[in-house]
Amino acid sequence: MAMARGYAATDASKPLEPFTFERREPHADDVVIDIKYCGICHSDIHQVRDEWGGSIYPMVPGHEIAGVVTAVGSAVTKFKVGDHVGVGCFVDSCVGCAARDLDLEQYMPGLVPTYNGREADGTPTMGGYSDQIVVKEGYVLSIPENLPLDAAAPLLCAGITLYSPLKHWKAGPGKKVAIVGMGGLGHMGVKIAAAMGAEVTVLSQSLSKKEDGLKLGATHYYATKDAETFKTLAAQFDLIISTVSADMDLNAFLGLLKVDGAMVLVGLPEKPASIHAFGLVGGRRSLSGSMIGSIKETQEMLDFCGEHNIASEIEIIRADQINEAYERVLKSDVRYRFVIDMATL
Ligand code: NAP
Ligand code: ZN
């Protein structure tokens, strides 16, 4: 067993604090990773504060992990010491499950989240706000060498969460895509959708980030607090992806879809939404959801980002700034992902 250092939440109402814990002895199929950087995802905040229920404490959050391999088990074939690697939102899934063959393991009940979950023997999993992690080879991703590790870390959740629905709903040339919310997920959606060739519109609460949105690849940028936006953009989009983390009126957005258009929710607000059937029925529109992506699709996304030189816009913080960063995320004061430098632990 190795002792790891990290930051943990001890209950839903307290700030995170320094924490020491044991990582398992590596098995033959394990990769040992020296964590260099970890992104702060809004899901970390939802879970630390138990907004989705069932949180396990103490909790070391973090599922946007980027680091360097320091050791490999005897059966590991894909990685060697020194490789740049990432770990995303899960570290195990049902063995031999058909969904894994279909590359849909993220939707299976046997999924083991990187933190706030339990391994097969019941041990709580601990995430990436820490200096090292031991992960089965099959759940470790290769980070392209041309991407800096700090800015690549957020691809492991924010990147794949947008790549997967953009690909599934066929964003590309000739398609009009709207991204709702220009935060950690949203800004990755803008970059990836633009690289796929779609015409991208950002729907943000205000125009304060307009210049950035256009630089990142959007062609249009509108404020949702302006009622005119919903008139101007009526029936315009093939695809709308909502990354919004708080309650919002989905009905207003459904009116922006073309006939057969789809609105996909990736943001996970605490409270349920209410939908008027008319918004879907008139226009044969659909409302759907999407969760991260499979390991295979995550590797495909990382390779795509490597080819297109896409990484996240980040603000590096020290480990002792995590609590302050959470407050800033909650105020939408993030440009566009906080990434913790583990050398500061
Ligand atoms: P984030 O950086 O805080 O971005 C969320 C954005 O939503 C904000 O930047 C803001 O954009 C907008 N927003 C916030 N409050 C709002 C409000 N009251 N009304 C309207 N818009 C509001 O968070 P994130 O890390 O991107 O995560 C976003 C959500 O996705 C979270 O709920 C997270 O748990 C979830 N998530 C889901 C998956 C999945 O697999 N489905 C994966 C990761 C995260 P503007 O300032 O531009 O308005
Ligand atoms: Zn996440």
In this prediction, residue 18 carries a pLDDT of 98
Q: Give the mean model confidence (pLDDT) for residues 202-231.
A: 98
Is 79 a domain residue? yes
For ligand 1, mutation pick of 244, 247, 329, 336 (most atoms within 8 Å of CB) = 244
SS3 label, residue 239: strand
pLDDT number for residue 217: 98
Helix intervals (H) in the chain:
42-48, 98-101, 149-152, 158-168, 184-196, 210-216, 227-232, 250-254, 277-281, 295-308, 322-330
Residue 90 has pLDDT above 80, yes or no: yes
Distance of CA 39 to the CA centre of its chain: 9
What pLDDT sits at residue 98? Answer: 64
Residue 29 lies in a domain: yes
Does any ligand 1 atom lie closer than 6 A to the CB of residue 329? yes
> In CATH, what number is assigned to the domain containing residue 10?
3.90.180.10
What ligand 1 atom has the least distance to the C-alpha of 244? 7
250-279 pLDDT tens trace: 999 999 999 999 999 999 998 889 999 999
Residue of 27 and 98 predicted with greater confidence: 27
pLDDT of amino acid 109: 84
The mean pLDDT value for 4-29 works out to 97
Span 91-146, pLDDT tens digits: 999 766 666 667 899 998 889 999 999 998 899 999 999 999 999 999 999 999 99
Q: Indicate whether 297 belongs to any domain.
A: no
Whether residue 136 is found in the same domain as residue 258: no
Read off the CATH number of the domain in which 241 is found. 3.40.50.720
Helix axes 184-196, 295-308, angle to 10 degrees: 70
Query: What share of the chain has pLDDT > 90, as a percent?
Result: 92
* Residue 306 in domain: no
In whole angstroms, give the CA distance from residue 273 to residue 195: 31
- Asked if residue 48 and residue 31 are part of one domain, the reply reads yes
Question: 138 by DSSP, 3-state: which?
Answer: helix
Range of the domain at 51: 2-157+313-344
Nearest-angstrom CA–CA distance, 192 and 164: 10
- The answer to whether residue 21 is domain-embedded is yes
| Residues 223 and 247 reside in one and the same domain | yes
Q: How many domains does the chain have?
A: 2
What the block records as the tokens of 211 is 């210049």
pLDDT, position 121: 87
* CB neighbour burial string for 122-140, b if at least 16 within 10 angstroms, e if fewer: eeebbbbbbbbbbbbbbbb
Indicate if 152 and 186 belong to the same structural domain: no
Residue 100 is predicted with a pLDDT of 65
Say how many Å lie between the CA of residue 73 and the centre of ligand 2.
28
C-beta 39 within 6 A of ligand 1: no
* Measured distance CA(64)–CA(44) in Å, rounded: 10
Residue 99 CA to residue 95 CA, distance in Å, equals 10
Rg (CA), the chain: 20
243 with 129, same domain: the answer is no
Give me the chain's average pLDDT, please: 96
Considering the domain architecture, whether residues 44 and 150 belong to the same structural domain is answered as: yes
Tell whether 212 and 222 lie within a shared domain: yes
